[in-house]
Amino acid sequence: MEETIQRAAEIISKSKHLIALTGAGISVESGIPDFRSSGGLWEKYDPMVYAHIDSFRRSPEMVWEMIFEMVGMTKQAKPNTAHSALAELEKMGLLKAIITQNIDNLHQEAGSRNVIEYHGNAHVLQCLRCNAEYSIDEYPDDGTIPKCRSCNEILKPGVVFFGEIIPEDALMESQMLAGSSDAILVVGTSAVVYPASNIPYMAKQNRAAVIEMNLEHTGLTGSITDVFIEGSAGITLPKLVEQVKALIG
Ligand code: APR
């Protein structure tokens, strides 16, 4: 691992447009299970049954059962050393933005300022009938399914369900960032969900160096990844930042 961290640190210390793409794996050490590892959320809930917009329209009460569990897990979670390491890279002026697939707000809580929430966030509630929007804080945290105050429709959390489009601003900004990056850190994602999984390829098309940090290889590793750093992000990312600091003095 040390040699790969050294190589990644050299790339980062010379980069001018470093971005990061993060997935659920970066929050596992904060106590939030990811989706596709063993014990992940999709082992308990079939995503096509519980996380598809058509399911929500058909039976919102059933989907809210999974949402309450998912949001419940993020409530107690605190940022871990991986989130803090990325916030530090941003403070050092090296990391320009984080594109996250996560909805747990932990990058922001760790101090990262330029965070693009590619799959929305769970703090907003939307009415699919009259388009009203509310903050989740406007509703009691007692397991009651939130309803629209104008038309009484069951509200949907502001997260992107399967079958929904990525928020336009997040999509455009991410494409612009990837297309102008010279290095991308891909942390804790299986890179199987499109279009987020396309972001590293867009960076590579711009000749960016792809640095992947994961417990296991993904579809990227054998194709566009230049440096693969194996291990828990909570351990490897702080080591990487320390190495970058040593290089830039
Ligand atoms: N450190 C680094 N990587 C880790 C760690 C860790 N401590 N723990 C798990 N991982 C890796 C796993 O090996 C896996 O490759 O993180 C990845 C998590 O993959 P997924 O569970 O598929 O999560 P993610 O890639 O974020 O899923 C993308 O799918 O269901 C949708 O909307 C959901 O945003 C999510 C999207």
Q: What is the pTM (predicted TM-score) of this model?
A: 0.96
Written as tens digits, the pLDDT of the chain (249 aa) is 699 999 999 999 999 999 999 999 999 999 999 999 999 999 999 999 999 999 999 999 999 999 998 888 888 899 999 999 999 999 999 999 999 999 999 999 999 999 999 999 888 999 999 999 999 999 998 999 999 999 999 999 999 999 999 999 999 999 999 999 999 999 999 999 999 999 999 999 999 999 999 999 999 999 999 999 999 999 999 999 999 999 998
Give the pLDDT confidence score for residue 99 in this predicted structure. Answer: 98
Q: Token match 């194709």: residue? A: 223
CA distance 93 to 19: 11
CA distance 125 to 147: 9
- Contact status, residue 153 vs residue 130, Cβ threshold 8 Å: yes
Catalytic annotation on 123?
no
Question: Would the CA dihedral through 205, 206, 207, 212 be positive or negative?
Answer: negative
CA distance 200 to 198: 6
Peptide bond preceding 238 in cis form (omega within 30 of 0): no
Give the pair of three-digit tokens for residue 22: 């993060």
User: Largest Cα–Cα distance of the chain, in whole Å?
Assistant: 59
Local structure of 21: helix, strand or coil: strand
Give me the torsion for CA of 209, 111, 246, 225, rounded to 10°: -20
| Atom of ligand 1 at shortest range from CA of 82 | 1
Give the pair of three-digit tokens for residue 204: 């590579």
- Contact status, residue 227 vs residue 240, Cβ threshold 8 Å: no
| Atom of ligand 1 at shortest range from CA of 37 | 21
Residue 246 alpha carbon to ligand 1 centre in Å: 30
DSSP state, 218? -
Closest CA to 68 of 85, 50, 48, 83: 50
Kind and range of the H or E element at 84? helix 81-91
Q: Confirm or reject: Cβ of 157 under 6 Å from ligand 1.
A: no
CA distance 213 to 4: 10
Q: Tell me which of 30, 37, 70, 198 to substitute to probe ligand 1's pocket, judged by most ligand atoms within 8 Å of the beta carbon.
A: 37
Q: Which amino acid is at 75?
A: K
Give the pLDDT confidence score for residue 75 in this predicted structure. Answer: 83
Torsion angles phi and psi, residue 91, rounded to 5: -60, -30
CA distance 94 to 91: 7
DSSP state, 180? T
Give the pLDDT confidence score for residue 103 in this predicted structure. Answer: 94
